[in-house]
Amino acid sequence: MAGAVERIEQDIAALEEMVRALAQEFDDTYHQYLTNLGQSVRQQLILASYHICTKGYPDRFLELSFSQRQNLQQSLQKLVQQAQVQLVELIEVAYLEVASVNDEDEDEVEADAVDSSKTEATDIPDSEASASEFQTSEFQTSEFQTSEFQTSESQPSAFETLESSLPLEENAAEQPEFQIYVPPDSSPASKEESPIAEEKTTATIELLDTPEAVAYWEERIEEGIEEMLQTLSHAANRLLQRASILPDKLPEPVLEVAAKSGLATEPVSGPPNLLNLLVETEDEDEDESAVTHIIAIQLRLSEIEFSDATLSTWRSKIRSLLARLVQLGRQYQKKQEELAIAEAEDAWRSSWFEE
């Protein structure tokens, strides 16, 4: 039966090679998809901002000076330019998360091995067992400290960087008028054309050697896209509020809730990615509450894809790759079960003897 185990292991190795090839297709497709998504997000965000300033709050926009209007427009452009770069970076962020999970799994295996060695040490004389337990305890402490160090050194995600890059409220209070926000110079093209980036991508593809790893990597990217759109919506609304387009008394939690794509609101006629809000605010002078009608930005992935035929095409290819991944996953799981059965049969025969 040893031959059966070897044959199944060869089948699993062949499936893992197919998974790696599929992971490369995923990587290439997501690079194209996220690059096009960044371009569409740029267009949709500017279009939504245009609608708010010219149709939602035209009087407020006209109250701004020429320089203030220009600063607002340039700040929105700079904000979305940085988001374009960080959308593509979601691929590498997902790779880092897969690598982190793999490291945690290896740590668990090492911990199990240590526990096993402690169990075997119970048969050693007391003096030797005490020394063995002491050394094992030191080893576990070292592993724990290393794990804590790795956690503390983890890098912030792309969407956390985008949110933290906005101008601080304290600085805004010191400035007489709305100031332009200028993020660090970077572009998606420069990152894609870098040979270092290509070499890094080739190396990280090796992490995706199982269907589970590819599925986890893909899920992290999709979650990152949704969170990025919410963060970008929130950041754009904050810029509009600080430019006195949106009401100043609008609470910060309202801006955060408005940015969430899952919020059920009345659709706005006209451009997509906008929503209507009725917010109850308190009047400090009269100690009474008033209902304020708000039009805010809410970037929705479904509406962005619907408005861009090229983006919809790449999304269709991602769905096709996911269908292939599901099929490979079923085959891989079946082979793993067959391998476990074959190894168990070998183990039974190796320990069996007639009395």
Q: Which two tokens stand for residue 40?
A: 């569409």
User: What b/e readout covers 116-148, taking b as 16+ CB neighbours within 10 angstroms?
Assistant: eeeeebeeeeeeeeeebeeeeeeeeeeeeeeee
DSSP 1: -
Find the distance separating the first CA and the last CA of the chain, reported in whole Å: 23
Q: What is this structure's pTM?
A: 0.72
- Per-residue pLDDT 10s for the chain (355 aa) are 568 889 999 999 999 999 999 999 999 999 999 999 999 999 999 999 999 999 999 999 999 999 999 999 999 999 999 999 999 999 999 999 999 887 776 656 555 555 555 544 445 444 444 333 333 333 233 332 333 323 334 444 444 444 454 443 333 333 334 444 444 443 444 444 444 344 455 557 788 889 999 999 999 999 999 999 999 999 999 999 999 999 877 777 777 777 775 554 444 455 789 988 777 766 655 656 677 788 999 999 999 999 999 999 999 999 999 999 999 999 999 999 999 999 999 889 888 887 7
Long-range contacts of 97-100, Cβ-Cβ distance < 8 Å, separation of 24 or more: 97/216, 97/217, 97/220, 98/207, 98/208, 98/213, 98/216, 98/217, 98/220, 99/204, 99/207, 100/154
